[in-house]
Amino acid sequence: MAPPAQSQRSPSPSQPSGKGEVSDLKMQLRQLAGSRAPGTDDSKRDLFKKVISYMTIGIDVSSVFSEMVMCSATSDIVLKKMCYLYVGNYAKYNPDLALLTINFLQRDCNDQDPIIRGLALRSLASLRVPNLVEYLVSPLAAGLKDSNTYVRMIASVGVLKLYHISASTCLDADFPQLLKHLLLNDPDPQVVANSLSALQEIWGTAASSEEAAREREGLISKPVIYYLLNRIKDFSEWAQCTVLELVSKYAPPDSNEIFDIMNLLEDRLQHANGAVVLATIKLFLQLTLSMTDVHQQVYERIKAPLLTLVSSGSPEQSYAVLSHLHLLVMRAPMLFASDYKHLYCQYNEPFYVKKLKLEMLTAVFLVVFTLVLAVLAIKVTELCEYAANVDIPIARESIRAVGKIALEQYDVNAIVDRLLQFLEMEKDYVTAETLVLVKDLLRKYPQWSHDCIAVIGNISSNNVQEPKAKAALIWMLGEYAQDMQDAPYALEGLVDEWEDEPSPEVRLHLLTAVMKCFFRRPPETQKALGSALAAGLADMHQDVHDRALFYYRLLQHNVSVANSVVNPTKQAVSVFADTQSSEIKDRIFDEFNSLSVLYQKLNAKAVLDPTTFQQKWRQLPVSTSQEVSISPQGVAAMTSPQVLVRHMQQLHCIHCIASGGQAPNFKLFFFAQKADEPSSNFLVECVVNLSTSKAHIKIKVDDETASQAFSALFQSAFSNFGKA
């Protein structure tokens, strides 16, 4: 047999064929390290490009570290940048090798070329090796005072990098105060913006420090706020958003100051960047929350900028802006009633944009109904047109929108007729969505049963395949068995197909519907009931089996009692469980211009300011007070309160609001909140004595019913501290 033919493809020139090529690179770099011959820099560039290329595709080229450092002795900026990139990648994994770079990086930090000074300082700050932070302090201090703007920009960000490596070193060197000086005095807007971002993150991270609390208050003082506002036009778009977010935390003492700020920022509403516009809108809305008339005027003022952004940007930008517009429409739909045509769907819009528009149209239409019934009919017609859309998801959303209007307005017979007409379209997905909505309609408004049942009775269960729709149809067959002539026989046919029904939800509804039908039309349903109970008792799904067993024993016990359980006197449903509460909507509004608005969910991070914590701590009684033991690993790990703080926050979402003390005694205050009920707080005082390996814990809670569960969670989290 002939040997297999060898591949004729040659290896890519950018990939080494083996370790030998890396060794060749090392040798060539060493030869060029001390050379000053013409063309040396060009040769170095070619070799550096190969090294970076190999590093990028995951090949280990750390063996040429020394040679790369030796070859960096050049004035060529391109070579410098490639060398810094290489060094930054390998230094954090090889701290010993990183030490070799200190001398040449410090030397470059004093170079005559400001670009090289800035690049070297950025690379030095990016090493992220705790043992080398002492070598970073002097270059950073010099960089913050450098005459060149670029170097100061790099240095202001470098301070933040140093803080994350060693917070104590950063604070001891008084770098935050130097940043504050740059913030208030530097002529370059980007240096000011970098200093502001660094200070916010530094004092935000050190949340439990009293000094941090004072500094945070200092950042939102009137002189700082006005200084930044007067320079806002000089900042980049990103920096403007940062400044506007900071200003939103400032509380003006009177209405005149509020108007001054709004007049100063009026032109930001016409900015081309959507982020700047949204940040300005958030500020205006927050400033005027206590001024009802002005707040309504702000809504009127921000409509035009938002609608312009929706129509002029990409679909992704339109979705982000529409999400915020959606939140505003939900809060004040009447204000947008005259602009409803802007919310009509365009044929070429993606589904996620159309869905939001349909939800907003629904909210606006519900308000308009109370004023002009004829206009509502026109608008519902627009929604009904979407039901025939070839885009199935949009057709579904439009049907839900019409159904929502019908649920909110009980005397709109025309809308109900429109909804029932969807069943005549003979499209599976249209029929499915309509059945679910008709079921909800009958639960809330039983007086419409005659009109609805007349149409529903003509639908064959064989034409309904979606589980939720089939469950809705079965519910109506059982609930209105006395009004639907064929109800017992339709249910009997479904029971005969029990083994072929994959959905437990449908089988559960079928059991209940057959029971209801039996008590209303016993002779016609007796056989179906026996078959359904037998099939349910043999069902592999636990919920189905348990319900069948429950019904069987209930019938054995007392038939009249069974009737009162299955067919009790019903009251109309007023609110459905999936309706979002007004409290959650208000809290999402507080997080305007954040991802919470896009997700329509609250930020999971707990938030509690020190003043509120102190007030609650004085008001609430002690729920739990006990002493817990600290493991030997925990005693060894607790070199400072911050170590325990990080453990509780990162792993258990229990946040520290204040801490202090010196070894072996520490005192910490923690808080946590329920994810689904942010107003329910858990407050903890924890006094740690490392010499006795004990901690005394006091817990105070808003909700006493959750006290025991939280206490167990806190003790478990505390006991696991220091363990791998």
Is the per-residue pLDDT at 468 higher than 80? yes
Q: What's residue 676's pLDDT?
A: 64
Let me know whether 467 and 548 are in one domain.
Answer: yes
Over the chain, what is the mean pLDDT? 83
Residue 519 within any structural domain of the chain? yes
Report how far residue 182's alpha carbon sits from residue 158's, in angstroms, rounded to the nearest whole number.
Answer: 14
Residue 652 within any structural domain of the chain? yes
Q: What's residue 364's pLDDT?
A: 76
| Domain's final residue, options 557, 582, 599 | 557
Which residue blocks in 167-209 are alpha helix, DSSP H? Answer: 167-172, 175-185, 189-205
Mode of pairing for the β-strands spanning 624-629 and 655-662? unpaired
Is the per-residue pLDDT at 573 higher than 60? yes
What average pLDDT does the segment 177-199 reach? 94
Which residue blocks in 8-112 are alpha helix, DSSP H? Answer: 19-33, 40-56, 65-71, 77-91, 95-98, 102-108
Q: Is the dihedral of CA 17, 20, 26, 27 positive or negative?
A: negative
Identify which of 436, 428, 431, 374 has the alpha carbon closest to the alpha carbon of residue 403. Answer: 436
Banded model confidence at residue 193, pLDDT cuts 50, 70, 90 = very high
């429109």: which residue's tokens?
Answer: 418
Let me know whether 693 and 621 are in one domain.
Answer: yes
Is the per-residue pLDDT at 271 higher than 80? yes
Report how far residue 397's alpha carbon sits from residue 361's, in angstroms, rounded to the nearest whole number.
Answer: 11
- pLDDT greater at residue 378 or residue 475: 475
Give me 611's structure tokens: 């003043």
Residue 335 within any structural domain of the chain? no
517 exposed, middle or buried (CB, 10 Å; 0-12, 13-18, 19+)?
buried
Let me know whether 628 and 553 are in one domain.
Answer: no
Residue 684 within any structural domain of the chain? yes
Is the per-residue pLDDT at 198 higher than 70? yes
Residue 488 within any structural domain of the chain? yes
pTM of the model as a whole: 0.69
CATH number of the domain bearing residue 683: 3.30.310.10
Q: What's residue 414's pLDDT?
A: 66
Is the per-residue pLDDT at 11 higher than 50? no
Banded model confidence at residue 369, pLDDT cuts 50, 70, 90 = low
Banded model confidence at residue 9, pLDDT cuts 50, 70, 90 = very low
For 404, other C-beta atoms within 10 Å of its C-beta total 19
* Dihedral-angle region of residue 655 (phi above 0 means left; psi in -120 to 50 means alpha; beta otherwise): beta
Identify which of 160, 159, 134, 167 has the alpha carbon closest to the alpha carbon of residue 641. Answer: 167
Give me 346's structure tokens: 């365009």
Is the per-residue pLDDT at 220 higher than 70? yes
Report how far residue 327's alpha carbon sits from residue 592's, in angstroms, rounded to the nearest whole number.
Answer: 9
Residue 391 within any structural domain of the chain? no
**Chain-centre distance for alpha carbon 204:** 19
pLDDT 10s digits, 26-85: 888 888 877 777 778 888 888 889 888 888 888 888 888 888 888 877 778 888 888 888
Q: Which of 199-213, 256-270, 449-463 has the lowest mean pLDDT?
A: 199-213
What average pLDDT does the segment 213-224 reach? 86
| Domain's final residue, options 496, 523, 557 | 557
> Domain range holding 547?
457-557
Give me 639's structure tokens: 């070199």
Percent of the chain with pLDDT over 90: 27
| Domain's final residue, options 557, 586, 601 | 557
Is the per-residue pLDDT at 443 higher than 50? yes
Let me know whether 549 and 618 are in one domain.
Answer: no
> Do 529 and 494 contact (CB within 8 A), yes or no?
no
Residue 78 within any structural domain of the chain? no
Q: What's residue 483's pLDDT?
A: 85
Let me know whether 542 and 468 are in one domain.
Answer: yes
Report how far residue 203's alpha carbon sits from residue 634's, in angstroms, rounded to the nearest whole number.
Answer: 27
Is the per-residue pLDDT at 415 higher than 60? yes
Collapsing DSSP to helix, strand or coil, 394 comes out as: helix
Banded model confidence at residue 540, pLDDT cuts 50, 70, 90 = very high
Let me know whether 551 and 621 are in one domain.
Answer: no
Q: Which of 470-484, 637-651, 695-709 has the lowest mean pLDDT?
A: 637-651
Residue 103 within any structural domain of the chain? no
Let me know whether 712 and 614 are in one domain.
Answer: yes
Q: What's residue 580's pLDDT?
A: 56
Identify which of 115, 121, 75, 118 has the alpha carbon closest to the alpha carbon of residue 101. Answer: 121
The total of structural domains in the chain comes to 2
